[in-house]
Amino acid sequence: IGRTLLDHQARTESNARTYPRRLPVAVAEASGSYLTDVDGRRYIDFLTGAGVLALGHNHPDLIEAVRRQLTKLTHGLDLPTPVRDEFRRRQLGMLPESMRGSMKMHFCGPTGADGVEAAVKLCKKATGRGTVVAFQGSYHGSTHGAMSLTSETSPKTGLHNLLPGIHFAPYGYCHRCPLSLRPETCATNCAEFLANTLTDTHGGVQKPAALILELVQGEGGSIPAPEKFVHRVAGLARTLDIPLIVDEVQTGCGRTGTWFAFEQYGIEPDVVVASKGLSGMGLPVSVIMYHERLDVWSPGSHIGTFRGNNLAFASANAYLDVLERDNLLAHVLQTGDYLFAALRQLQRETVLVADVRGRGLMLGMEMAGTAVASATEVATRFQREALRRGLIVEIGGREDCVVRLLPALNVSRETTDEALAIMRDATRAVEK
């Protein structure tokens, strides 16, 4: 049956479909960290809806919260409701104490891209400036604005008049340093490059409306930004009075072991974008949280029909209950460390793994090319061999040569070990 569904899809859906090409699985149902296809095959899901299903599939507490809300109210525009009120209060309460009193929330349309659009529009309006600095390797979404801020050029080919005035600064991608330096001696020249560009009056960039940064680039290849790089970028934003937008669409909501990744860097962004993991179970919701001094919008500045998904708010509130009750962030850090160490061990055993990196449960293995296969081919074959053995992983990064791991945040040690055994076998199969 699976083959038939995939064939139907290929014939009648747009050619832009992506996941089914590399992960040809027709899904029947799922539970926790496991997914079952229509032919009864079981897979470990280390993709979790592109990092959306924080508590895996069908968590009973979230189902119960949504079931209760379902009979009360599903869609509420942006009218206040009890679950929306609780959502806003608790989400703002998850910010570090020093930021709590001064941050406001705006509810955006349902996707991460919509949150990014809102963040950039807000900063443009607040500063009266028109350009934006993003970073090489960035991914911020697929709408016109968000795609303009995404560095990869292939989806932009043939699209005229994307957002003008976007400057891509070097990102601290040490494994392939954009300035060809060694991390031990580099003096964070990537951030200095940005500093020069921002202050140089002879050919630098105009003072931008915002800097937009991912603290671990996700689609860009699971690349955690080096600490010194982030401090320098945040320092520049502060001294030059440029709002710093941190895109936590993928890194947020516990994925990296703290509620937001920026907490681990000790910085205070002016705008935070959150979406994917917010509801814990993939119900669409997206918000920006921003410093009140940026609150310049008049009614209607960023609206949209789907900004009142009360099912998502109910689920998000229940997700926070589970997070606190089960001490989930500690589990993410522990399991992340365990998985990271095991992948490093795998790296020592094979020439196919060039780098292991990430934070919390947002990890990646950059694969290496061999005499007969490029790094992209190695990653693609690894993904196929893992799938054949019952493990779903994504690949991404420059040239699609990074195996990306985004397990559910409550993944058990047993399932983690099962996935690791498959990754080891898949590596052996690719080596042959």
Interacting residue ranges for ligand PMP, rule: CB under 6 A = 50, 111-113, 116, 139-141, 214, 218-219, 247, 249-250, 275
Quote the least distance from Cβ 240 to ligand PMP, whole Å: 24
Across the chain, which distance is largest between two alpha carbons, in Å?
64
Question: How far is C-alpha 362 from the chain's CA centre?
Answer: 8
Smaller CB separation from ligand PMP, 61 or 399: 399
The one-letter amino acid code at 282 reads: G
Smaller CB separation from ligand PMP, 115 or 208: 115
Question: How far is C-alpha 429 from the chain's CA centre?
Answer: 30
Q: 418, 426 in Cβ contact below 8 A?
A: no
Structure tokens at 40: 């009864």
Quote the least distance from Cβ 214 to ligand PMP, whole Å: 5
Quote the least distance from Cβ 216 to ligand PMP, whole Å: 9
Work out whether strand 216-217 and strand 271-274 pair parallel, antiparallel, or are unpaired: unpaired
Smaller CB separation from ligand PMP, 5 or 226: 226
Smaller CB separation from ligand PMP, 116 or 378: 116
Report CA torsion sign: 52, 55, 56, 59. negative
Smaller CB separation from ligand PMP, 112 or 336: 112
Quote the least distance from Cβ 192 to ligand PMP, whole Å: 25
Structure tokens at 234: 């945040």
Quote the least distance from Cβ 283 to ligand PMP, whole Å: 12
The one-letter amino acid code at 254 reads: G
Smaller CB separation from ligand PMP, 111 or 310: 111
- φ/ψ of residue 405, rounded to 5: -115, 120
Q: Where are the beta strands (DSSP E) in 192-310?
A: 210-213, 216-217, 223-224, 244-247, 271-274, 286-291
CB nearest ligand PMP: which residue? 112
Structure tokens at 138: 């960035």
Smaller CB separation from ligand PMP, 32 or 284: 284
Report CA torsion sign: 315, 319, 320, 324. positive
Quote the least distance from Cβ 114 to ligand PMP, whole Å: 7
Smaller CB separation from ligand PMP, 111 or 383: 111
Structure tokens at 319: 């997700």
Smaller CB separation from ligand PMP, 138 or 416: 138
Quote the least distance from Cβ 238 to ligand PMP, whole Å: 23
The neighbouring-strand residues paired with 135 are: 169
Quote the least distance from Cβ 48 to ligand PMP, whole Å: 12
Q: 378, 31 in Cβ contact below 8 A?
A: no
DSSP collapsed to 3 states, 319-386: HHHHHHHCCHHHHHHHHHHHHHHHHHHHHHHCCCEEEEEEECCEEEEEECCCCCCCHHHHHHHHHHHH
Quote the least distance from Cβ 250 to ligand PMP, whole Å: 4
Smaller CB separation from ligand PMP, 381 or 404: 404
Q: Could you give the count of Cα atoms lying within 13 Å of 419 in the half-sphere of its Cβ?
A: 28
- C-alpha–C-alpha distance, residues 137 and 246, integer Å: 15
Quote the least distance from Cβ 217 to ligand PMP, whole Å: 8
Quote the least distance from Cβ 225 to ligand PMP, whole Å: 12
Q: Which residue has the tokens 């992983």?
A: 393
Work out whether strand 216-217 and strand 223-224 pair parallel, antiparallel, or are unpaired: antiparallel
- C-alpha–C-alpha distance, residues 251 and 339, integer Å: 17
Smaller CB separation from ligand PMP, 247 or 385: 247
